[in-house]
Amino acid sequence: MSTENTIQHTIDKADIDGKQEYTITVYAENRIGLLNRIAIIFSKRKINIESLNSSASEIDGIHRFNIVITESYEVVRKLARQIEKQIEVLKVYFNTNEEIIWQELALYKVSTDEIAEKVTVERLLRQYGASAVVIRKDYTVFAVTGHREETDALVKALEPYELIEFVRSARVAIIKDSAGFHEKLKEFEAFEPGEELVENEFLDKGEKIFTM
Amino acid sequence: METAQDTIQQTEAKAEASKTLFKGTGSQVLLNGLIEEGVTTIFGYPGGAIMPIYDALYDYADKLEHILVRHEQGGIHAAQGFARTSGKVGVCFATSGPGATNLVTGLADAQIDSTPLVCITGQVFAHLLGTDAFQETDVINITTPVTKWNYQVTDAKEIPEVLAKAFYIAKSGRPGPVLIDITKNAQLQVEEFPEYVKCNHIRSYRPKPKVRVEYIEQAAALINAAKKPFVLFGQGVILGKAEAEFKAFIEKSGIPAAWTIMGDGAIPTSHPLNVGMLGMHGNYGPNVLTNECDVLIAIGMRFDDRVTGRLDKYAKQAKVIHFDIDPAEIDKNVKAEVGVWGDCKETLPLLTNLVNERKHEEWLAKFKDYNQQEIDQVITPELHPTSDEMTMGEVLRNINEICGGDAIIVTDVGQHQMVACRYAKFNNTRSNITSGGLGTMGFGLPAAIGAKYGAPDKTVIAIIGDGGFQMTPQELGTIMQFGAAVKILILNNRFLGMVRQWQQLFHDKRYSFVNITSPDFVALAKAYYIEADKVDERANLRKALETMINHEGSYLLEVMVGRENNVFPMVPQGMSVSEIRLK
pLDDT digits (tens, 9 = 90+) for B339-351: 999 999 999 999 9
Mean pLDDT lowest for which of A11-15, B131-135, B555-559?
A11-15
Indicate the pLDDT class of residue A5, thresholds 50, 70 and 90. Answer: very low
| pLDDT exceeds cutoff 50 at A4 | no
Q: Which of B204, B333, B335 to mutate to test the interface with A (most CBs of A within 10 A)?
A: B204
Alpha-carbon torsion, ordered B269, B271, B275, B279, to 10 deg = -30
Chain B contact set for A189 (CB, 8 A): 203
Contact A78 B330 (CB under 8 A): no
Supply the DSSP symbol for B385.
-
Instruction: Answer whether residue B39 shows pLDDT above 50.
Output: yes
> Residue A9 — very low, low, confident or very high, per pLDDT cuts 50/70/90?
very low
**Cβ <8 Å between A200 and B341:** yes
pTM: 0.92
Q: What is the mean pLDDT of residues B79-90?
A: 98
Predicted local distance difference test score (pLDDT) of residue B16: 59
Q: Which of B152, B204, B210 is the closest to A87 by Cβ?
A: B204
**pLDDT at residue number A125:** 76
Q: Is B73 a catalytic residue?
A: no
Instruction: Residue B336: list chain A partners with CB under 8 A.
Output: 202
- Are B144 and A37 inside 8 Å of each other by CB? yes
Residue-wise pLDDT tens digits, A29-68? 999 999 999 999 999 999 999 999 999 999 999 999 999 9
Q: Does residue B415 have an active-site annotation?
A: no
Quick one: pLDDT band at residue A158, thresholds 50, 70, 90?
Answer: confident
pLDDT at B383: 97
Q: What mean pLDDT do residues A128-147 have?
A: 92
B72 is catalytic: yes
Choosing from B277, B498, B548, B570, the catalytic residue is B498
- Strand A19-29 and strand B41-44: pairing? unpaired
Residues B214, A203: C-beta atoms closer than 8 Å: yes
Mean pLDDT across the stretch B235-250? 98
Distance CA(A163)–CA(A144), nearest Å, equals: 14
Q: Is 80 exceeded by the pLDDT of residue A196?
A: no
A/B interface, count of CB pairs below 8 Å: 72
Is the bond preceding B286 in cis, omega lying within 30 degrees of 0? no
Q: Does residue A191 belong to the interface with chain B, where contact is any CB pair within 8 Å?
A: yes
A179 touches chain B (CB under 8 A): no
The answer to whether B135 is a known catalytic residue is: yes
B134 in catalytic set: yes
Secondary structure (3-state) at B488: strand
Is residue A126 very low, low, confident or very high in pLDDT (cuts 50, 70, 90)? confident
CA atoms within 13 A on the CB side of B84: 38
pLDDT-derived band at A208, boundaries 50, 70, 90: very low
List pLDDT tens digits, range B248-307: 999 999 999 999 999 999 999 999 999 999 999 999 999 999 999 999 999 999 999 999
Query: Looking at residue B253, what is its pLDDT?
Result: 98
Q: Would the CB atoms of A33 and B327 count as touching at under 8 Å?
A: no
Spatial separation of the C-alpha atoms in residues A185 and A200, rounded to whole Å: 18
Q: Which of A28, A78, A195 sits opposite B210 (nearest CB)?
A: A195
* Chain B residue with the nearest C-alpha to that of A27: B204
Using a CB-CB cut-off of 8 Å, the residues of chain B touching A94 are none
Q: Quote the CA–CA distance of A185 and A181 in Å, as a whole number.
A: 6
Helix (H) and strand (E) counts in chain A: 7, 9
Contact state of B203 with A90 under an 8 Å Cβ cutoff = yes
Task: List, in order, residues 6 or more apart from B120 with CB less than 8 Å away.
Answer: B30, B50, B53, B91, B92, B93, B94, B179, B180, B182
Rounded distance between C-alpha atoms, residue A12 and residue A20, angstroms: 9
